Amino acid sequence: MDDEPPARDEWLYMLSRMEDVEVVATASSATQALEVIYEHDPDLVFLDIEMPGGNGFTVVEQLMDMEDPPLVIFATAFDQYAIRAFEENAIDYILKPLEEQRVRKGLDKVRQRLARENAPDAAEKPHSELAQLLEKIGQRDSFTRISVESRGRVLLLQPQDVYFCRADDKRVWVHTRDDRYLCHGTVNLGKLEERLGAHAFFRANRADLVNLAKVREFAPWFNGKYTIIVDDAVGTEIVVNRSRVKDFKDRLGL
């Protein structure tokens, strides 16, 4: 996944020389990268760090929603990107310009890793290591994005543009000021709540995750519940369950 056509051509040529390697797709942006990864479910992704529409870390953040995310090898011309963090995790990196011997070494690591994961007693999956990588390089919070479907494409929404998320019939809908989008992939509200934990999101009830920065007003309702009015185009009302009221008031500093 690289935004420069000559770089993608170089990758295609080099990987065509590698045994047991099949290139299923290429991409020129973070959004397109997510589309082809979700479509083809590859074992391995070569990922540039600097990409239009986000960056490599944005893509990695979204991959953690997959049940079985691919392994990732970063390709970068910028060695200031916390190389030690890559080395301490089972995620490889390759500095540009590309060298065939270095690419082969990375593929050897991938083969070994896949063999371990396919062993009967395998327990560790890429989820935890992807999360560790983002935390070690300090990128997880600043590059959090929510992937949603729109007219056959995948949009990457920033948390501050999301007003609330609502679970409905095993799917999650993401609401902005004027629109709503179906959350892409197999993410559920619990996973979304976990990913947005560093932001101002609050689980008001079983079905609703609300951005507290988008709450216009609230008031006591009945049976100890509260009602929230969201500052979207239609003034959506959301109920805060009685068991969540204290936490809601604490989050607002009341």
155 inside domain: no
Note whether 228 and 240 are within 8 A (CB). Answer: yes
128 and 167 inside one domain: no
By the 8 A CB rule, do 33 and 11 touch? no
In this structure, the answer to whether residues 132 and 170 fall within a common structural domain is no
CA 11 vs. chain centroid, Å, equals 24
User: Does residue 195 form part of some domain?
Assistant: yes
Tell me the residue range of the domain where 197 lies. Answer: 162-251
| 105 in the same domain as 63 | yes
pLDDT digits (tens, 9 = 90+) for 99-120: 888 888 888 888 887 787 766 6
Q: Is residue 188 domain-shared with residue 117, that is, in the same domain?
A: no
Residue with tokens 């609050």: 202
Which runs of consecutive H residues, i.e. helices, occur in 17-158? 30-40, 56-63, 83-87, 100-117, 126-136
Q: According to the model, what pLDDT value does residue 144 have?
A: 74
Domain identity same for 67 and 18: yes
Confidence of residue 94 (pLDDT cuts 50, 70, 90): confident
Confidence of residue 244 (pLDDT cuts 50, 70, 90): very high
Look up residue 68 and give its two tokens.
């079985």
Distance from C-alpha of 178 to C-alpha of 105, rounded to nearest angstrom: 49
Per-residue pLDDT reduced to its tens digit, 18-68: 888 889 988 888 888 888 888 888 988 888 877 776 677 778 777 776 777
Residue 175 covered by a domain: yes
How high is the pLDDT of residue 164?
Answer: 97
Residues 6+ apart with CB under 8 A from 211: 159, 160, 162, 163, 164, 199, 200, 201
pLDDT at 20: 85
Residue 132 banded pLDDT, cuts 50, 70, 90? low
Number of structural domains (the chain) is: 2
